[in-house]
Structures are given as C-alpha cells and as structure tokens.
Amino acid sequence: MPGPPPQTPLAALAQRRFLLSGWPWRSAGYVLSTAPVALAAGVPLGLLALPWLVVLAALADGDRPFGALAALLVLAPLLVLVFGPAVALPLAALERWRLRLVDTRPLRSGHRRPPAPGLWPWLRTRYTDAATWRDLGYAALLVTVVPVLHLVALTGVLLIGVMATSPLLVADGTVSLGVNQASTVAEAVPYAVAGVLLLPAVPYLLAAAAGVHGALARALLDDSTGDLLRAELVEVARSRARLVDAFEAERRRIERDLHDGAQQRLVNLTIQLGLARLDLPAGTPAATALARAHEQAKQIMAELRELIHGIRPQLLTDRGLPAALDELADRAPVPVTVRTDLPDRPPGHLEDIAYFVVAEALANVAKHSTATRATVDVHERAGVLAVEVTDDGRGGADPARGTGLTGLADRIAVVDGRLLLSSPGGGPTVLRVELPCPSG
C-alpha cells in the first residue's frame, strides 16, 4: 500500500519516482527565484552594516576609536530597530508564499493582531512580537547563509553542465574543469561522458538545496506548531471542564440519593423505633435495648445530615453563597464577620469551591490558630471571584503540615484559579483564592 505523498523535497528524495515527479522542477524554481529575493532584501539590510563600516574605517585610520565604538553602540541597535522589521515583515510574507513551492504543509505566520486600529498599536504589537524577530532572523540568514548554500548547489550544477558540453566548449579554447583543463576534443570526451552520467544528479542537488532552505524557512517563519499546542491546550481545558461538570453531576446525584433515599428511610426507622418504645414497659430488657437502638438511629441520622451538608449544603443550593456563608459563620466556634459583594450568582461549581474554601479555612482557624475572630470577604470584580479569609491568630500556617490547604489548592487548580497564603509567625493569616468567573 503506497504511503502518503511527500510534502517536501527532502522527503521526496527517498522516492524511487523522484526524477519523474514535479519536485525537481519545483526545487529548481525555488532555488533560482531565491537570488533576486535575497538581492532585493540585501540592499536595505545592508544599511544595518553601516555602523560596523564606521568602526572599521575609524580603526583603519587610527583616529578616535572610542568615537567609532560609541557610533557602533548607538547606530547599530537603532538601525536594527528601525529598518530591520520594516524589511523583514514584507520579506517574510513573500517567503511564506514562495515556500509553498517546496513545502505543501499548512503554514502560519504567528503574528498577533494589534489590539486596536492605528499606527501606534500596530508598531507596538509588531515590535513586541516574537514572530517579528524570527522574521528578522530569517532575513539575515537569507542574505548571508542561504546564498552560500545555493551557490554550492549551483556550482555543482554548473560544473556538471560544463563537463557534459566540454567537447563543444573546447572549440573556443581551453576549458577549465575544476582542478583540470581540457584544450582538445580528445581531452574533453572523458569529462563529457562523466558529465552525462552525472546529469541525473542535478535534480538531487537542487532538491537538497531547496529542501534545506525550505526547512530553515519553516523553522523560522511557521507557527503551526504553536497553533497545534494551543489547540491541544484548549482541548485539555475543555476535557478538564467536562470532568468538572461530570464530577459535579455525580456529586449532586449522590447528595440527592442520600437525601431522598437513605435519609428518609432512616427517619422512618427512627419514628418506628420511637413508637415501639411506647408499647414496651419501661425498665424491661427489651425496652432498654430498643431505647439504645433508637438513640443510635438518631445519632446515625444526625451524622448522615452532616454528611449531606458536607457534600453540598441545602441552603447553598436554595439561597446561594451569601446565605450559606452566613450560616457557616454562625456555626463557627470563633466570631466571624462575613462581607459579600456579588452582583450575580456565580456558577454552581464556583459556589461550591468558594464555600468549601471558607469552610476549610474556618476549620483551620478553630483548630490551629488560637484566633479570637475572623473575617470572610467575598466579591466579584473584572471576571474574578475572590474569596479572602483573615484571622488574628498566631500565624505560621504551612500547607506541608496537612492543614487541608494542599487539597484546596488542587481543587482550585481544576478551574484555573489560584490560592495565595500569607501567614507570618505571630499572624495575622490571610488566605485568598481567586477563581475565574466569566460574566453571563
């Protein structure tokens, strides 16, 4: 089964039908069209060498070398900044178009769009864009290294052509054939035979030169790999969002099953045990055992309520985050002041995270801080839901000591949030969580 068609001359070189394909002609067109492009770019880019010429001239004369060095330090960066991108940007656009001759893969420049119309936003974007400086680097190589590469290939092609036609050329005089010369037809015939035998190598030389040049151009002028990485990151983010949604749906299902199933059956069992106690004489062994079972059922029901509340408080579902935080503050062992400023109700999964951040923080305050009071501040501004818990305790909170902060950080990272902690010895401790909260 034949494989996919080659997309570059370097890949095509390994194909048996290379000489019968279009790649030799495409490579020849790419190599031959490079010279005028490099010449057109070399003229304005030659201005960048002006400071170096000033330095060389000054050093040659031995006059004011420090002034020449100052001219170098000032003029060279200035000319690079002013003239470099002005030449490199249109040149790179032309080279991306020309690269299609020897590379059929998709190509993208990677330049960022200016944030606003106008010359200044365009200049600021271009001069701070990594793609602009990659274009400038390619332009420098195009007028220095690439001509040498093509010159080597064309020299080989020219030598093979001279060898193949040497019997005709020798009639006009001595013909130079590299290290040797031929002055008669008889001397030229062996070289002609060798040249004819080497003619099939000409397309390979041109394809090799065009392939190396094309690979260099793609490495500097293409940002398709960045697009692929960005697409993969977007897919990872979407996959993570789907996992968060699936986790949220499963958590709600467990909460509903416990509330509507196990808790209701436990309530009915507790009621039946209470009624059964009324039918037994007090003080009998059966009444004592039934009373113990009744108390255990009530204790299990209380623990189940706490478990359901820990999964998601019903008040949080019904009335939202401010009411749930007020209830949490009322149940805290230290006085807690709650301030909320939420123009709209946040998404459910963000409410959950914010609630459990506060719950964990207040639990740590009660267990570890010896604080006398705490403050909870929750607000949403500029698309960020911020939760800040402050206490006046002894400080020294450390996630490495297992205070639950590591688990909170992991939970926050799932939604691209961040956790900030300030807890110097002696206090106070400030825990701040920032969660992306898109409007609408």
Residue 54 pLDDT: 57
Residue 228 pLDDT: 46
pLDDT, greater one: 242 or 121: 121
Residue 25 pLDDT: 92
Cα separation, 368 vs 362, whole angstroms: 10
What does the pLDDT average to over 154-173? 81
Q: pLDDT by residue (tens digit) across 88-146?
A: 888 888 888 998 899 888 877 778 788 888 888 888 888 888 888 888 888 888 888 88
Residue 77 pLDDT: 61
Question: Please, where are the H alpha helices in 65-118?
Answer: 65-98
C-beta separation of 30 from 10 below 8 A: no
Residue 69 pLDDT: 56
Predicted confidence (pLDDT) at residue 231 exceeds the cutoff of 70:
no
Calculate the CA 308 to chain-centre distance: 40
Cα separation, 224 vs 107, whole angstroms: 6
Quickly count: other Cβ atoms within 10 Å of residue 366's Cβ: 16
Report residue 19 as tokens: 């000489």
Average pLDDT, the chain: 76
Q: Which CATH class is domain 318-436?
A: alpha beta
Q: Given pLDDT bands bounded at 50, 70 and 90, which one contains residue 37?
A: confident
C-beta separation of 37 from 88 below 8 A: no
Residue 80 pLDDT: 65
Q: pLDDT by residue (tens digit) across 267-301?
A: 777 777 777 777 667 767 777 777 777 777 777 76
Cα separation, 198 vs 195, whole angstroms: 5
Share of the chain above pLDDT 70, in %: 71
What does the pLDDT average to over 152-159? 88
What's the DSSP call for residue 21? Answer: S
